[in-house]
Amino acid sequence: MATSTDQEMIMAEVEAPASVKITKEGNVLSVKGKLGTVKKDFTKLPATITVQGNKVTIKPYGTRKRDLAVTHTARSIIESMIKGVEKGYTYKLKIIFAHFPISVKVKGKEVNVENFFGERSPRVSRIVGDATKVHVVGEDVVVQGPSLEDVSQTAANIELSTRIKDKDQRVFLDGLYVYSREEGMQQ
């Protein structure tokens, strides 16, 4: 007979393919594959993460509903890290302008949006992560890399740098907008 103190143990496992190597140093989990290495710090996660070969086990400290949610979130993050080092991620942004032609240039770890609404100084956004690459192809800006968090944050930084304030956004549509999110890195 089960008493109220007997509760089901919450646990999640992620198994990686043989081409992916997973290591753990302290609370930092590293996933290495053909496209590079992705690292994530799980210090604030209320769970223990163990790595045995290519299998990662996540066990939360508690057995509540919140602990189940934390476990599944960590599992999802690790799965996206594995997908990233195998296939990679690609975000595409479209350059849209009505009157002043916008030019986008990549300089080091920054993306410069020049001539936005005829402004003299360029709008600058930061490229997040070491492995994240940004290319300008015609009227598209392509952001690629193995880390989903770095690629999506870089695309968001570029989109936010061209945000228009104090004007009707239905009329003033100039800017760079994300229009495609894909798994895989193609040129």
Confidence of residue 73 (pLDDT cuts 50, 70, 90): very high
Segments forming the whole domain that contains residue 114: 89-183
Mean pLDDT of 10-38: 94
Residue 50 belongs to some domain of the structure: yes
| Partner residues linked to 56 by β-bridges | 14, 51
From first CA to last CA, the distance across the chain in angstroms is 61
- Give the residue from 86, 120, 152 where a domain finishes: 86
- Given a cut of 90, whether residue 122 has pLDDT beyond it is yes
What CATH number is attached to the domain comprising 61?
A: 3.90.930.12
> Within 10 Å of residue 60's Cβ, how many Cβ atoms?
21
Which of 104, 118, 117 has its CA nearest to residue 154?
104
pLDDT of residue 4: 30
pLDDT at 187: 58
Decide if 26 is inside a domain.
Answer: yes
94/82 same-domain check: no
Q: Which is more confidently placed, 11 or 127?
A: 127
**Do residues 75 and 140 share a domain?**
no
**Predicted pLDDT at 170:** 86
Closest CA to 143 of 88, 99, 74: 88
Mean pLDDT of the chain: 92
Is 6 inside any structural domain? no
Q: Which amino acid would we find at residue 5?
A: T
Task: Calculate mean pLDDT across residues 3-26.
Answer: 80
Give burial (CB, 10 Å; 0-12/13-18/19+) of 157: middle
> Rounded mean pLDDT of 100-110?
96
Is residue 7 assigned to a domain? Answer: no
Share of residues in the chain with pLDDT > 90 (%): 83
CA 52 → CA 2, 8, 23, 33, 92, distances in Å? 32, 23, 9, 17, 37
Q: Is residue 7 scored above 90 in pLDDT?
A: no
Tell me the whole-structure pTM to 2 decimals: 0.89
Residues 140 and 179 in one domain: yes
Residue pLDDT, tens place only, 124-151: 999 999 999 999 999 999 999 999 999 9
Predicted confidence at residue 8, as pLDDT, reads: 64
